[in-house]
């Protein structure tokens, strides 16, 4: 079978591997599609702080069909159409005992720390295979995993109905976080410096968008919230300029979820965070969000087609990633057809 491997930054290579052997508690999945994440692009560029090279198989946003599976307690059977949760926990540590599997002390993420999903066939734990409805296309199902990231970020920020939430970054994850807020009954305010992305977000149904290229974020947030400032913030950029000033973007007692990965450590204003008693809540991967994401997409609560820029074949991935790195404003989600 063909597997798209990343040997080192800037080097993708198609390799031939034998079919995986079935193991207890695992399923062999014929992969149909896999999304390209921004972290795949940064891994290719060599600026992803979590990446472990080499990896046999890039990608962690996979969907496919179960072609082989043994007895299992998860109800997974041959022929099931599934979305694959890529964060594989140890099931032994204190975080796993607390069912915070996304924060496992020995977590292995597919396509980051272990083999990834841009492969013709993939071996995966049945407990992390989630059935998708028969009438949900694989293309739509490929957005389940990134949607869980937005849902988890909103959950970490304890977003509640009736609140305002400022979301920084109008890329895929910022949009997912914004629609998570809408589905939780809150009002997102999306901030970015790329006007085209903000206009697209407005067309998709995001009620408030703001271009921060020339500053003025605080003033705009005060205007929208009637002077109070948002109760919550979700940062999907990791940009130092945002994190250094995040205390200015929420009200007293506000909550801030950190979803975007900075490339390096960032200094934050702990004095103002303490004076306003702001909760700062790092958000890692997602936890128990796959069923929710599948349901919301199936119910049409996410504008999936508007979020997908294009599809490509496995052999085209390297050229597409190069163009995504060079022209990020031209892309939202790209999905690879196996």
Beta carbons within 8 Å of 304's beta carbon, 6+ residues apart: 139, 140, 143, 297
pLDDT in tens, the chain (338 residues): 999 999 999 999 999 999 999 999 999 999 999 999 999 999 999 988 889 999 999 999 999 999 999 999 999 999 999 999 999 999 999 999 999 999 999 999 999 999 999 999 999 999 999 999 999 999 999 999 999 999 999 999 999 999 999 999 999 999 999 999 999 999 999 999 999 999 999 999 999 999 999 999 999 999 999 999 999 999 999 999 999 999 999 999 999 999 999 988 999 999 999 999 999 999 999 999 999 999 999 999 999 999 999 999 999 999 999 999 999 989 999 999 99
Beta carbons within 8 Å of 71's beta carbon, 6+ residues apart: none
Between CA 93 and CA 25 the distance in angstroms is 19
Q: What share of the chain is helix, strand, coil (3-state, %, to 5)?
A: 30, 25, 40
Alpha carbon 174 to its chain's center: 9
What is 315-327 written as a DSSP string? GGHHHHHHHHHH-
| Helix (H), strand (E) at residue 279 | strand 279-282
Integer Rg of the chain from CA = 20
DSSP 8-state class, residue 246:
G
48: which 2 tokens? 């992803």
User: Can you give the pTM of this predicted structure?
Assistant: 0.97
Structural domains in the chain plus CATH codes: 2-143+302-337 (3.90.180.10), 148-282 (3.40.50.720)
DSSP 8-state class, residue 19:
P
């Amino acid at each position: 079978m063909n597997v798209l491997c990343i040997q080192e930054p800037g080097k993708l290579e198609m390799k031939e591997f034998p079919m995986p052997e079935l193991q207890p508690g695992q399923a062999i999945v014929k992969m149909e599609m896999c999304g390209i994440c921004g972290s795949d692009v940064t891994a290719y560029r060599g600026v992803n702080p979590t990446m472990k090279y080499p990896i046999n198989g890039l990608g962690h946003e996979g969907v496919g069909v179960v072609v082989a599976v043994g007895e299992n307690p998860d109800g997974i059977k041959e022929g099931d159409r599934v979305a694959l949760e890529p964060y594989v926990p140890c099931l032994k540590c204190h975080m796993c005992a607390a069912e915070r599997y996304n924060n496992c002390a020995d977590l292995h993420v597919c396509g980051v720390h272990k083999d990834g999903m841009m492969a013709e066939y993939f071996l995966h734990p049945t407990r992390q295979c989630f059935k998708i409805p028969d009438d949900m296309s694989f293309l739509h199902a490929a957005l389940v995993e990134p949607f869980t990231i937005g849902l988890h970020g909103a959950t970490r920020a304890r977003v509640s109905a009736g609140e305002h939430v400022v979301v920084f970054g109008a890329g895929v994850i910022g949009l997912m976080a914004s629609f998570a807020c809408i589905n939780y009954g809150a009002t997102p305010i999306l901030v970015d410096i790329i006007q085209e992305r903000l206009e697209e977000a407005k067309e998709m149904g995001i009620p408030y968008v703001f271009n921060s290229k020339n500053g003025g974020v605080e003033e705009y947030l005060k205007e929208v919230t009637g002077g109070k400032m948002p109760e919550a913030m979700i940062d999907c950029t990791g940009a130092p300029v945002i994190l250094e000033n995040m205390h200015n973007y929420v009200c007293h007692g506000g909550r801030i979820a950190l979803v975007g990965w900075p490339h390096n450590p960032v200094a934050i204003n702990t004095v103002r965070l303490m004076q306003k008693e702001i909760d700062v809540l790092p958000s890692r991967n997602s936890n128990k969000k796959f069923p929710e994401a599948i349901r919301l997409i199936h119910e049409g609560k996410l504008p999936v087609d508007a979020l997908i820029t294009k599809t490509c074949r496995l052999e085209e991935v390297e050229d597409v990633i190069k163009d995504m790195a060079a022209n990020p404003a031209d892309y939202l989600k790209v999905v690879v057809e196996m």
